[in-house]
Structure 1
Amino acid sequence: MTNLVSPAQLIHLQRRAEHGEGPAVRVLDVRWRLDRPEGRPEYVRAHLPGAVYVDLEHELACRSEPERGRHPLPALDDLQVAARGWGLHDEDIAVAYDDNRGVAAARLWWLLRRAGVDVRVLDGGIRAWVAEGLPLEGGDVLPEAGDVVLAAGEGDRLEIGEVADFARDGILLDVRTPEQYSGAQASLDPVGGHIPGAVNLPAMATVGGDGRLLPPAALQRVFAGAGIRDGSRVAVYCGSGVAAMHTALALEQAGIRAAVYPGSWSEWSNHRGLPVAVGILPYGRLTAV
């Protein structure tokens, strides 16, 4: 499976499907931002033709206690119900996009890929589509229900009890901003700082000025700067498990398979007694939640 498509490649997939030469394509609009989590108004105003809106806060996460973080993973059964509501069938190709450099779309990519779906991210999102002079439409798309059956993914996520050991034996990437990583900037979480042993590499270091992911060779150079090469054991976390999945996508494009700690800092910082490193060094000045 490939992970990214350009606007031209998406159109090619759609035309093949229309002529019965390839699987159906379901386009999914995952517009979400930390400062504007409800993307439906923008979606209703204008979206890719036929795109179905996906609510990240309610369909790609679940409500829970703060101890599980801000965006706990949805239960597989709940994700399957949502995916069927998007009109997704077995063998379909899902193509996700957003308007924020692929960050939210990558959350859908990560969840569906580990559930056995052929899923791609539209590189550059809706802005790349518009830049090509391609049409948009307004209103809401309500597809007929699908019947996709999702599989339980394994082996590509870390639970909170596994993170400290991984940081000692592998490369644990913190992809928040340097200010968040060091603890210099106040966050939405109880304390600032990072998981001891984590290396900082901001998620946006993997994205070009046009909102597209950097080419694989350039991504390899970016990750090499954090000590990551072929054969490295890598896991990624962020504030609440959204941007981390975008970096997992970038790592995949560079030929490196990574695990994700979905609870991320919002879960770690809500567990009293866990160690916290403050400052710019991986082990920095140690304190505790």
Structure 2
Amino acid sequence: MLLDGKVVASEKMERLKSEIKGIIEKYGIEPELKLIQVGNDPASTIYANSKIKRGTKLGINVTLEKFDNITMGKLVDYIKDANANSRINGIMVESPLPPSLNFQEVVDNISFYKDTDGMTSFNQGNLYTKNEMIAPATARAVVDILEYYKIQPGNACIINRSAVVGRPLAMLLLNRDYTVTLCHSKTVDIKRIARENNVLVVAIGKPDYIDESYVTSESTVIDVGINYSGNKISGDVNFDSVSNKAKNITPVPGGVGIVTATDIFENFLNGLKYQIKEKLI
């Protein structure tokens, strides 16, 4: 079965749009998400513009603050000012940052309730105690797809150990009673491990790398990878090879990516609700 992310994202967009409209009408506020970009990375600019468009559809004012170059001290000061500004309800730092700026050190200055990307150490740590108010959007998107298509919890193999995907996703799946195995470049016999798990999540940045030898007829395959080659977009999974064997699979594009783009605003909404509840705005 094709696990179509467009369907998942569309239904979530309608729910978010309705909730945000209700908040605007009830409290008379104009929700704002502040994006921060340092440098001129083309992909970063594309993603920022995509968030601006999606935010407009939801009734959220998404603004981009772009710096050609900036010191760590001045960037931290800017973030602290945004934290203190009650009119700004969410903050996201676009990646990559220049080598002179450490991404984790930068984002850890964002107030946890304005951390729309879910990347602060505080919000990452919250996942260990089943507090999922704000979680990394890609990890949340994988869970959303599994739950939407009613994939029963079982054993899950994640080929990725980053703070963006693998580690937070492991916690989210553990919170849902999965038995989780994290694999990475140093793992021995990944193919065998992958086949022994009924859910396989792949995020390795290698186009079409995972073939049918990694799966069985009972496998549900979630392809997180997005790789560009000219005008072609492909995942980390060889779709033609694996889809003929696996039970379920996500496409690329149209799978995890579009749900991730929506889940960013799920985080924003959850943070906004917290700010209203705590009378921070």
Structure-2-length-normalised TM-score: 0.30
Structure holding more helix per residue: 2
